[in-house]
Amino acid sequence: MQRPEAWPRPHPGEGAAAAQAGGPAPPARAGEPSGLRLQEPSLYTIKAVFILDNDGRRLLAKYYDDTFPSMKEQMVFEKNVFNKTSRTESEIAFFGGMTIVYKNSIDLFLYVVGSSYENELMLMSVLTCLFESLNHMLRKNVEKRWLLENMDGAFLVLDEIVDGGVILESDPQQVIQKVNFRVLQSAKEQIKWSLLK
C-alpha cells in the first residue's frame, strides 16, 4: 500500500473536478475516519481574483484553475457572487463550495476566491495587498474611472501578487517597487529599440 505522501498532487482545479467526477482519492490511514481527512497542503491557494463595478460587470478578472473553464461560466459565477455580496457589510462569503473575501471601494467590488478549506486570513492578505497597491498606484482613487485608465498597471499589480494561483507577495510596498521596476525596465527597452531604428 502506498503512503499518502506518494500520491501525486492534483494540478489546480483537478482536485475538485476529480472529486465531482468520482475520481480516486488517496486511501484513508488506518483508524482515520473517512470523512475527517485533512487536505494536503498546496501552494495553489487562489482560484480567482476579479473586480466588478457597481452593476456587477467585470472590469478585471484572472482565473487560476479550471473550476470555471469558459468565459460564460466565469461571468455567471461573478454575477451570482455579486448578487450575494453586494448588499452585505460582511467581508467573507461561502458560495458554491468556495471561500470568497471581498471589499467595496466607492464604485468597485474587489474579490479573492479560494477553495472551501482555504484559510480566510491568507485570502484576506491578498485582498488587502491588492487594494493597498491599487490605492497607491491610483493615488488614493480606487474607483472605476481611474482603474479603467490604468488597467495595464492593475494587471501588473495583480501579477506581482499572484502567479498561477500561488501567492507571491502580500506586502503592498514590495508590489509597488516591483511594478515600478518592471515599468522602468519596459521604458528602457522601448527607448533602446527606438534608438536602434
Mean pLDDT throughout 2-16? 44
* Cα–Cα distance measured from residue 158 to residue 112, given in angstroms and rounded to the nearest whole number: 11
Q: At 191, is the pLDDT very low, low, confident or very high (cuts 50, 70, 90)?
A: confident
Backbone angles phi, psi at 45, to 5 degrees: -105, -20
Q: At 126, is the pLDDT very low, low, confident or very high (cuts 50, 70, 90)?
A: very high
Q: At 196, is the pLDDT very low, low, confident or very high (cuts 50, 70, 90)?
A: confident
Q: What is the pLDDT of residue 10?
A: 46
Distances in Å between the alpha carbon of 142 and those of 24, 93, 130, 139?
Answer: 45, 22, 11, 8
> Would the pTM count as exceeding 0.85?
no
Q: What is the pLDDT of residue 3?
A: 40
Among residues of the chain, what percentage have pLDDT more than 90? 52
Distances in Å between the alpha carbon of 135 and those of 53, 63, 111, 147?
Answer: 16, 22, 15, 10
